Homo-oligomer: A and B are copies of this chain.
Amino acid sequence: MNTQEAIGALGALAHDTRLALYRLLVERGPDGLPAGVIADKLHILPSSLTFHLQHLHRARLIRQRRVSRRLFYAADFEAMTELVAYLTKNCCGGAWAPPSCLPVANTAQPKRRSA
């Protein structure tokens, strides 16, 4: 993850609705949720939801897949891992985060089914 990607991810998370949305998807795991269910849970209009979903998607924090007529969105766990790695490496003066943290992140991902 380079600086521009990090800025994109930080900006995507720096919003009430989007952070709540992202946390909801993380909580839900790799299966994710369809847009409609998310809209209900967060009480936002469909057009707003799409706007925020696309914002998170552009930042590669979430993934999209269609299941019949519904679009499911799921958190991209690698993205957060990379973001945290970027922050600890570049924004803590190297003083933070023992290297043992980084490998753990990958192995700790919930098992996914297809891709």
Q: In the complex, which residue of chain B has the Cβ closest to the Cβ of A16?
A: B7
Residues on B with C-beta less than 8 A from A81 are 92, 96
The 9 closest A-B pairs by CB, nearest first: A11-B14, A10-B14, A95-B108, A26-B93, A101-B101, A10-B10, A10-B13, A14-B14, A96-B105
User: Which A residues between 1 and 50 are near B, CB-CB below 8 angstroms?
Assistant: 3, 6-8, 10-11, 13-16, 19, 22-23, 26-27, 29
User: Which A residues between 32 and 88 are near B, CB-CB below 8 angstroms?
Assistant: 75, 77, 80-81, 83-84, 87-88
- Copies of this chain in the oligomer: 2
Asked if B7 and A14 sit within 8 Å, CB to CB, the answer is yes
Interface residues on A, range: 35 or more
A115 interface residue (CB < 8 Å to B): no
One of B11, B22, B27, B93 near A29 (C-beta < 8 A): B93
Asked if A88 and B98 sit within 8 Å, CB to CB, the answer is no
Asked if B23 and A91 sit within 8 Å, CB to CB, the answer is yes
